[in-house]
């Protein structure tokens, strides 16, 4: 497959002559509390797309639909839904782009028509499209056969999807895991347990690359040999949060993918993440809400999934934990309670031969408790999976603080508890 180049742009010519594997891609890293910066990440695949039409020539039309859709998305006031409606009236994105003013006036008001004509006069964004291809970013139009079928079914599917990594990871048995950024030890244990029990069923784990439950889900999928898809709330050249840049690279190395509806250079904002959530829900046949308070983004994703007719599952938790309020609210309104991976597989109709790993209801990595003294056992029973104050343990056990500290040290050495900052502790 040959790549088209702009004759006057020397950098593209040099790029084509370079060794692909040695080429450096420098995605922007946007920390939560800092200005954007740059880091070099080697080893990313820079092979051109193989499943969508490439931009083989920049001198003659027709171009791939993705080029026209990118230009249409740059029209002021013309959002994704408006473009979807226009595509129903015109034969193709190319036909829409080249429509006469009279044809457009039948579907657009005066201000949007003026904005359309103004943007069209500037020409197609050929340079931007080629730059993204050089970065290994594939632009998948809603009219392409490679576009995820499930996502196309939702009310407002992105007309243009940017993908880096394996396109085939967006299809098959897709299941989303979502939850709070401030996850508890209990929430992480449950996430790990459920995903461990799915690894024999070739499930694709989808999440949003956020801190907390999202991060746990992605890592556990990688450890279990499952492909995982990260849906960005920004351009694919911006890794957010910066703390997950290593995880992001591992997702690609493990046969997964990054997905976004935003072009390269788009910064994350408070508005882009709720929009991102509909893609998480739309890509999947089901969604598991592990933890989250009533106003969390996880519940937004769950409600979007319900609206699109997708299966929604919720993990029960501690009634005193704010992170359990969201899943409990979903359970009250019809979500399916889930505590084992086999329950997910059965409900979704993904039959697979059961193993002991799929039916064991115990928390992950806890096959049996070591021999504990009576005092150690009593203290362990008083410690819950959510963080709790160590100062509460003397009242719960009747032991003096000095004795509590001694027993906590023993339990930590046994790997049964985690001592947390702020004089807190939780079960492991």
Q: What is the pLDDT of residues 311-337, one digit of tens each?
A: 999 999 988 888 999 999 999 999 999
For 179-231, write each residue's pLDDT tens digit: 999 999 899 999 999 999 998 899 999 999 999 999 999 999 999 999 999 99
Name the residue among 56, 4, 48, 53 with its Cα closest to residue 23: 48
Report the C-alpha dihedral over residues 411, 415, 421, 425, rounded to 10 degrees: -50
Whole-angstrom distance, CA of residue 133 vs CA of residue 177: 30
Among 25-39, 53-67, 214-228, 398-412, the range scoring the smallest mean pLDDT is: 25-39
Report the alpha-carbon distance of residue 203 to residue 195 in Å, rounded.
9
Q: Where in the chain is the domain with CATH 3.40.50.450?
A: 149-359
Helix axes 297-307, 325-332, angle to 10 degrees: 20
| pTM of the predicted model as reported, rounded to 2 decimal places | 0.73
Q: How many angstroms separate the Cα of 211 from the Cα of each of 207, 214, 240?
A: 11, 6, 10
Distances (CA, A) of 210 to 12, 166, 176, 242, 321: 34, 20, 13, 10, 21
Strands 238-239 and 138-141 turn out to be unpaired
Which of 2.102.10.10, 3.40.50.300, 1.10.10.10, 3.40.50.1220 is the CATH number of 374-427? 1.10.10.10
Q: Select the more confidently predicted residue: 264 or 50.
A: 264
pLDDT at 171: 87
Task: Choose the CATH number for 149-359 among 3.30.70.60, 3.40.309.10, 2.30.110.10, 3.40.50.450.
Answer: 3.40.50.450
Q: How many Cβ atoms are within 10 Å of 264's Cβ, its own excluded?
A: 18
Question: What is the Cα–Cα distance from 289 to 20, expressed in whole angstroms?
Answer: 40
Residues of the chain with CATH 1.10.10.10: 374-427
Structure tokens belonging to residue 97:
């782009």
Phi then psi for 310, rounded to 5 degrees?
A: -90, 155
């Amino acid at each position: 497959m040959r790549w088209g180049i702009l004759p006057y742009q020397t950098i593209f010519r040099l790029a084509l002559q370079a060794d692909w594997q040695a080429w450096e891609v420098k995605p922007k890293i946007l920390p939560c509390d800092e200005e954007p910066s740059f880091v070099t990440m080697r080893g990313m695949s820079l092979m051109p797309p193989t499943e969508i039409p490439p931009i083989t020539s920049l001198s003659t039309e027709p171009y791939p639909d993705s080029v026209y859709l990118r230009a249409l998305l740059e029209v002021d006031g013309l959002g994704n839904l408006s473009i979807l409606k226009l595509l129903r009236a015109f034969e193709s994105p190319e036909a829409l782009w080249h429509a006469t003013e009279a044809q457009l006036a039948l579907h657009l008001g005066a201000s949007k028509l003026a904005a359309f004509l103004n943007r069209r006069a500037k020409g197609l964004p050929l340079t931007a499209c080629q730059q993204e291809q050089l970065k290994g970013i594939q632009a998948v139009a809603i009219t392409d056969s490679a576009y995820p079928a499930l996502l196309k079914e939702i009310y407002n599917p992105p007309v243009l999807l940017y993908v880096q990594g394996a396109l085939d990871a967006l299809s098959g048995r897709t299941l989303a895991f979502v939850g709070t950024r401030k996850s508890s030890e209990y929430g992480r244990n449950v996430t790990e347990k459920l995903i461990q029990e799915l690894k024999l069923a070739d499930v694709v784990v989808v999440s949003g690359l956020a801190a907390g439950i999202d991060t746990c889900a992605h890592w556990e999928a990688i450890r279990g040999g499952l492909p995982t898809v990260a849906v960005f709330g920004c351009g694919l050249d911006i890794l957010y949060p910066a703390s997950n840049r290593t995880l992001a690279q591992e997702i690609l190395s493990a046969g997964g993918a990054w997905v976004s509806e935003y072009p390269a250079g788009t910064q994350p904002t408070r508005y882009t993440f709720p929009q991102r959530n509909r893609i998480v829900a739309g890509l999947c046949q089901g969604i598991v809400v592990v933890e989250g308070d009533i106003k969390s983004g996880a519940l937004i994703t769950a409600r979007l999934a319900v609206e699109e007719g997708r299966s929604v599952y919720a993990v029960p938790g501690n009634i005193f934990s704010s992170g359990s309020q969201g899943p409990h609210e979903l359970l009250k309104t019809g979500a399916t309670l889930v505590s084992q991976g086999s329950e997910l597989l059965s409900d979704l109709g993904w039959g697979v031969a059961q193993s002991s790993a799929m039916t064991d209801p115990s928390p992950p990595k806890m096959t049996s408790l070591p021999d504990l003294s009576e005092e150690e056992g009593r203290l362990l029973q008083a410690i819950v999976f959510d963080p709790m104050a160590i100062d509460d343990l003397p009242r719960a056990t009747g032991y003096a603080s000095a004795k509590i500290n001694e027993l906590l040290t023993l339990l930590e050495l046994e790997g049964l508890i985690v001592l947390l900052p702020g004089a807190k502790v939780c079960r492991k």
